Amino acid sequence: MSTVETKLTSVQDAPEKQETHVHPQPSSSQKLSTFLSTYVFSKDHKVIGLQFLFSTLLWFLIGGLLALAVRWQVAWPWSDVPVVGKLFAQQGGQMAPEFYTMLFTMHATVMIFLVIIPILAGAFGNFLIPLMIGADDMAFPTLNMLSYWFMWPAFIAFGASFFVEGGAASSGWTSYPTLATNVNSSPGAGWGQTLWLVGLTFVGVSSMLGSVNYMTTIILMRAPGMTMFRLPMTIWAMFITAVLQAFALPVLTAAGFMQLADRSLGTGFFTPEGNIVNNAVATAGGGQPLLWQHLFWFYSHPAVYIMILPAMGMVSDILTCFARKPLFGYRPMVYSVAGIAGLGFIVWGHHMFMSGMNPALGTTFMVSTMMIALPSAVKTFNWLGTIWAGRIQFTTSMLFALSFVSMFIIGGLSGIFMAATPVDIFIHDTYFIVAHFHYVLFAGTAMGVWAAIYFWFPKMFGRTMNEFWGKVHFFLTFIFLNGTFFTMHILGAVGFPRRLADAYHYETFHHLQPLNAFMTYCAIGMVASQIIFAVNFFWSMFYGPVAGRNPWNSNTLEWTAPSPPGHGNFDFQPIVHRGPYEYSVPGVDSDHLMQTDPPNAAAAAAAAAAH
Amino acid sequence: MKRLAGLFWSLLFLLVPILGVITFAVAPAYDIWLPKDVSEHGAAVDGLFYFILGLTGVVFVATELCLFWFIWKYDEKNDKAEVKYRHGSHVLEVVWTVIPAAVLLFLAIYQMNTWADVKMRRPNMAPTVEVIGRQFEWRLRYPGRDGVLGTPDDLHLVNDLHLPIDEDILIQLKSMDVLHSFFLPNVRIKQDAVPGMKIPVWFKAREEGVFDIVCAELCGWGHYKMKGRVTFESRESFEQWLEVKYQEQEATQPSKTET
C-alpha cells in the first residue's frame, strides 16, 4: 500500500507541488487529523468507494449467515440449530417461530439496503464514475463523504435492533401494516420496527446524496471529447440508476415517516377504523393498509432496477474486454437501460395483484409489466451478439460476467409467469417468487458484482487477485447457487408458501422436506465457498502480483491512470478520441484502441466502414 | 491441451439448459408439481401456466444453447477464431425487438379474460359464508336457519370450512387484525384479507374432497400454523353438516324459556 500512502500525504497540497512529505515533525494531533481526513473522513471518491466496499462486503457476510439460519429452519424445522441455538436460545436450541420471522425480515433488509444498493452505487459508482469519465473527483466531494457516513447510523440502527427488547423487525422487509404498525402484533413490531424505520431513513438519505452527486458529475465533469455516447455502459447505467434513486426514494422516505408517525404520534395513515390486534386497545383509524403498499412499492419496484442496472453496465464492459470485441448494439443498449428505468416507474402494482386493489388496475399493471420484459430481452440478445465471433479470454471476471447473462435469462423469464395475473393468483407469495428474485439479485447482480471486483481490483489495490482460486470460487458458487435456487421454481409450482416456519404439516406440502434439505446443503456449500473469495481478496491486497496500469488491455479511461490512482486520478488531462469499445480494430496493430489513444487513420477508416 | 479450460467452462454452461429442462421434466414424477385442481376456472389458470412454461422453456433452451455455443466456439485458444469487428446490426435489433414485443403483447391480451372471470365478474348472489382471518385462525360465519348472513342465528365456526360442489360459491373475506391471505391451492384461489375491507371471492368446485386452507400473507409468528381445511361435498351432505353444526351451536346457548 506504499504507493497510496505517498500520494495521499500530499492531499493538503495543491496538485502542482510535487512534495511527497508534508511536515518535517508533525505534532500528534496534526498526525491524527491528517490520518482522519485521509483515511476516515476522506473526500476522495476512491477512498469513499473502498469504504463502501468493505462495509457492504461485511454486511454481505451477515446477510448470508441470516439466510443460512432461515434455510436451516426450512429444511429441519424445530431441530436444534447449531451455534445460533446457543446464542439466541429460547427453547433449548430450537428456533422460535417469531425468531424465524425476524430472520427472513432482516436477511432481506440487510441484503437490499446494506449490501446490494450500496455496493453498486456507493462502492462501484463512487470508485468508477470520475475515473471512467476522466474527472479528478466527484462534483461534490464533501457530500460524497457524507453519503458514506450517513450509512453508519443505519448500520448502528439495524445492528442494534437485533439486541433490543422484542428483537429486530419481523414483519417482512416489506413492513406491511397493520402487522408492522401495531406494536402488539408481533415481538419485532416494537423497538425493532422503529429502529428499522430509522435505519431505512438514513440509507435513503445516503442514497439521495449519492445520486445527486453522480448525476451532476456525469453531466458536467466529463473529459474533453467524452460525449454522452462515448460513455462506457457502466457510466450510463450508474447515471440512469442515479435518476431512478432521485425520483423514487423520496416516496419511500415519506412513507417511512408516515409509518413512524402511525407508531409514535397516534396518526392513522395505514390503520383502519376500530382495528384491534391481539386484544389490545384500538388506535386512531380512518386509514388504509393498501396505501402503504402503494407508497412502498412505488419506490421498491424501481429499487429492483437500481439493484441490477449498474451490474448490467459493468457486465457489458467486462464482456467486451474479454471477448476483445466492440459492444453489440451500443445505442440500443443505452435506450434499453433507459426503457427499463422509465417503465420501472409504472409497474409497481404487480406486487399487489392479490392485495385487494381494484383488479382492473391490476390489468393495467399486468400490461406494463409484460412490456418491461422487452428491453431486458434486447439487452440479452446484444450480450450474445457481443461474444459472438469474439476471442474469449476465460479470466475469472469473464466467467462471472458470462454467468450473469446465463442466470439473468432464467431470472428474467421466470418473471413472465408472475406478470400474468391469473398465474400470479397461484404463485404469489410462494417460492416461485423467491426463485425469481434470487436469480436476478444473486445469480444476476451478485455474480456481476464479483465480476466487477475481480476486474477492478488491480485498479483499486495495485495488485491482481489470484486467478486459480478465483476460478475455484466461481465454479463452487455457480454450482451451489443453482442447487439452492433452481428447484425453488418447482417448489413454487406446488404452491409452497413463503415465510412459513414450518409448511410440512399441510397435506399439500408435507412431502417437500427432502428437497428443502438438499437446497439447504447447497446453500451451506455456497456460503462456505465465499471463504475462498475472502482469503483471496485480503491476501492479494498485500501479496498479489503487482499490476500495471492496464492488466486487462481494456479501453476505458480508468486504465490510463496509475494502479491505484493518486489523488486527482490522472497524470495528464485525458482527451477522448473515440468510444469505449474499439477492440480488434482492423488495420490497427494492437487488439485494443484506448479512448485516449491519439486519432488513428486506419481505425477511423475501419469504424466508418463498419457502420 | 490449451483448449481444455475453454472446453470445461463451456460444458459447465451447457449444464444449465440440460439440468434446467431435466428438473422441470422430472418434478411431476416426484409429485413436486401443481397440486390437484378441483375448481372450474383452474383449468384456465393452469393452461396459462403451461403456455408460459412452453414459451419461456423454448426461449430458455434456445438462448442458453446459443450462449454455450458461442463460449465453445469463440475461445481465443481456438486458432480458427477471427474477430468480427461489428458494432451491431440494425436489422437484428428490429427483429429481436418486434418479435418479443408482439409475443408479450399477445400474452397480455390473451390472459385478460381469465383474470376478469376470477376477480372482476362477481356472481350476483348472497354470500355463502364469511371468512374472517385473525391471528392465527380462520373464523367462519355461515347464515343461520333464517338464511341471512349478519343475524344473531349465524353459525360461527373456526378453520373447518365446508362448501357444496357444482354451485357458485361467494365468500366475503375480512380480517380482524392484520393482513392475511386466503389461499386454497387446490382451487387456484388466493385473495389477501385486509383489515377494514370486505373483499368478495368466488369460484365453483367440481369435485368432492378435503383440502388445505393456507395463509399466504405474513401475519405474525403464527403465520405458519394458520391452517384451515376446506371440505367440498354434495349439496345434501353440506346441508346435513350444517344441520349438525346448527344443533351443536344451539346446544351451547341458553334456551328462550330460561330466565
Q: Which of A528, A544, A560 is the last residue of a domain?
A: A544
Q: How many domains does chain A have?
A: 2
Query: Is residue A211 in a domain?
Result: yes
Query: Is residue A15 in a domain?
Result: no
Q: What is the pTM of this model?
A: 0.94
Residues 6+ apart with CB under 8 A from B19: A482, A486
CB contact under 8 A, A422 and B44: yes
A6 pLDDT more than 80: no
A363 pLDDT more than 80: yes
- Indicate the range of A134-143, A180-189, A417-426, A527-536 predicted with least confidence: A180-189
B166 pLDDT more than 50: yes
Name the residue among A328, A330, A384 with its Cβ closest to that of B66: A384
Ramachandran quadrant class, A395 (left: phi over 0; alpha: psi -120 to 50; beta: rest): beta
A222 lies in the same domain as A346: no
A250 lies in the same domain as A346: no
Residues 6+ apart with CB under 8 A from A75: A513, A516, A517, A519, A520
Query: Is residue A32 in a domain?
Result: no
A345 lies in the same domain as A299: no
Query: Is residue A312 in a domain?
Result: yes
A183 lies in the same domain as A98: yes
Query: Which residues 219-238 on chain B approach chain A with CB closer than 8 angstroms?
Result: 219-225, 227
Residue A89, all three cell numbers: 436460545
**Mean pLDDT score, B15-20:** 97
Query: Is residue A102 in a domain?
Result: yes
How long is chain A?
A: 611
B108 has a chain A CB within 8 A of its CB: yes
**Dihedral sign (CA A207, A209, A210, A213):** positive
B111 has a chain A CB within 8 A of its CB: yes
Give pLDDT tens digits for A290-328. 999 999 999 999 999 999 999 999 999 999 999 999 999
Q: Which of A544, A570, A597 is the last residue of a domain?
A: A544
Q: Enumerate the residues of chain A whose CB falls inside 8 A of the CB of residue B196.
A: 272-273, 275, 285, 288-289
The pLDDT, as a whole number, for residue A278 is: 86
Radius of gyration of chain A measured on its C-alpha atoms: 25
B18 pLDDT more than 80: yes
The pLDDT, as a whole number, for residue A181 is: 92
Query: Is residue A603 in a domain?
Result: no
The tally of CA atoms less than 13 A away on the side-chain side of residue B113 is: 5
The pLDDT, as a whole number, for residue A17 is: 42
Q: What band does A8 get if pLDDT is binned at 50, 70 and 90?
A: very low
A444 lies in the same domain as A529: yes
A398 lies in the same domain as A256: no
A235 lies in the same domain as A337: no
Residue B77, all three cell numbers: 485458444
Burial A111-143 (b: 16+ CB within 10 A, else e): bbbbbbbbbbbbbbbbbbbbbbbbbbbbbbbeb
CB contact under 8 A, B115 and A185: no
Q: In chain B, pLDDT over 90 holds for what percent of residues?
A: 92
CB atoms under 10 Å from CB of A27, counted, come to: 9
A258 lies in the same domain as A320: no
Whether the CB-CB separation of A385 and B92 falls below 8 Å is answered with yes
Query: Is residue A423 in a domain?
Result: yes
Hunting for cell 439466510 — which residue is that? Answer: A67
Domains located in chain B, CATH noted: 4-77+90-119 (no CATH), 129-251 (2.60.40.420)
The pLDDT, as a whole number, for residue A13 is: 39
Q: In chain A, pLDDT over 90 holds for what percent of residues?
A: 84
The pLDDT, as a whole number, for residue B81 is: 64
Q: What is the spatial distance between Cα A206 and Cα B91, in angstroms, rounded to a whole number? A: 43
A149 lies in the same domain as A62: yes
Higher per-residue confidence, A508 vs A83: A508
- Indicate the range of A8-12, A311-315, A490-494, B149-153 predicted with least confidence: A8-12
How far away is chain B from the Cα of A282, in angstroms, using its nearest Cα? 10
CATH of the domain at A170: 1.20.210.10
Q: Give Cα separations from B171 to A117, A459, B9, B127, B140 (angstroms).
A: 42, 63, 55, 6, 10
Q: What band does A90 get if pLDDT is binned at 50, 70 and 90?
A: low
Q: Which of A515, A544, A573 is the last residue of a domain?
A: A544
Residues 6+ apart with CB under 8 A from A448: A308, A311, A312, A314, A315, A400, A401, A404
A192 lies in the same domain as A323: no
Give pLDDT tens digits for B132-146. 999 999 999 999 999
Task: State the residue range of the domain holding A338.
Answer: 308-544
Higher per-residue confidence, A600 vs B155: B155
Beta strand spans in A465-559 (E):
none
Query: Is residue A552 in a domain?
Result: no
Residues 6+ apart with CB under 8 A from B248: none
**Chain A interface mutation, best of B120, B177, B210, highest count of A Cβ atoms under 10 Å:** B177
Say what the ipTM of the complex is. 0.95
- Indicate the range of A102-111, B105-114, B247-256 predicted with least confidence: B247-256
Q: What is the spatial distance between Cα A215 and Cα A227, in angstroms, rounded to a whole number? A: 15
Nearest residue to A69 (alpha-carbon basis) of A89, A85, A57: A85
Query: Which residues 115-174 on chain A approach chain B with CB closer than 8 angstroms?
Result: 170-172
A247 lies in the same domain as A158: yes
Q: Enumerate the residues of chain B whose CB falls inside 8 A of the CB of residue A187.
A: 221
Q: What share of chain B is helix, strand, coil (3-state, %, to 5)?
A: 45, 25, 30
Name the residue among B63, B82, B114 with its Cβ closest to that of A409: B63
The pLDDT, as a whole number, for residue B78 is: 82
The pLDDT, as a whole number, for residue B21 is: 97
Q: What is the spatial distance between Cα B176 and Cα B195, in angstroms, rounded to a whole number? A: 6
- Indicate the range of A93-97, B86-90, B134-138 predicted with least confidence: A93-97
The pLDDT, as a whole number, for residue A23 is: 47
**Mean pLDDT score, B17-40:** 97
A266 lies in the same domain as A397: no
B148 pLDDT more than 50: yes
The pLDDT, as a whole number, for residue A359 is: 97
Query: Which SS3 state, helix, strand or coil, does residue A265 take?
Result: coil
